[in-house]
Amino acid sequence: MKDPTEDTQLAFYAALVTDDTLRAAYVNVGEKASGTQTVEQPAVVEARDALVAGIIEDFRRIGQGATLPPLGEGAVCDYCTARGLCRKDFWDEAAPPPGVEPIGGSTQ
C-alpha cells in the first residue's frame, strides 16, 4: 500500500481498538501457484488516527450545515445505476449555508 490513507478498511477496524501497538494485514488466499500472501499495513495506527480525525471533522461540518459531496467521479457517473444513492444529481441544488464550505471542498 503506497498511501495508507487511501484504504480505510484496516484503519476502520483499528479504530475499534484503543491500542497503539497494532498490526494489521490483508490475507490474499491464492488459488494459483502464487499461493497465499499477507500484505501488512505498517502504518495502520497513523491511518486509523487520520480516519478518525476525518470522520470527526466531517460530522462537525455536517452539524454546521455542510452538504456531503457526491461519491462518483467524472464520466463514470453518466452510466452508474446508483446515482440516487450518491446524490450526484442533486449536488448543484444543495448549497451549504453561508460561511460553510461543502465537505470535500469544491462542488464540481
Backbone angles phi, psi at 83, to 5 degrees: -55, -40
Residues 51-108 pLDDT 10s: 999 999 989 988 998 877 665 566 777 777 776 666 666 655 555 556 666 666 554 4
What does pTM read for this prediction? 0.64
User: Within this chain, do residues 47 and 16 fall inside the same structural domain, yes or no?
Assistant: yes
User: Within this chain, do residues 58 and 71 fall inside the same structural domain, yes or no?
Assistant: no
- C-alpha–C-alpha distance, residues 65 and 84, integer Å: 21
The pLDDT of residue 108: 43
Instruction: Write out the DSSP string of 36-52.
Output: -EEEE-TTHHHHHHHHH
User: Within this chain, do residues 52 and 78 fall inside the same structural domain, yes or no?
Assistant: no
C-beta separation of 66 from 99 below 8 A: no
> By residue range, what is the domain housing residue 99?
67-108
User: Within this chain, do residues 55 and 7 fall inside the same structural domain, yes or no?
Assistant: yes
Residue 61: its H or E element: helix 44-63
- C-alpha–C-alpha distance, residues 73 and 88, integer Å: 10
User: Within this chain, do residues 58 and 79 fall inside the same structural domain, yes or no?
Assistant: no
Residues 20-61 pLDDT 10s: 999 999 998 887 777 888 989 999 999 999 999 999 998 998
User: Within this chain, do residues 15 and 53 fall inside the same structural domain, yes or no?
Assistant: yes
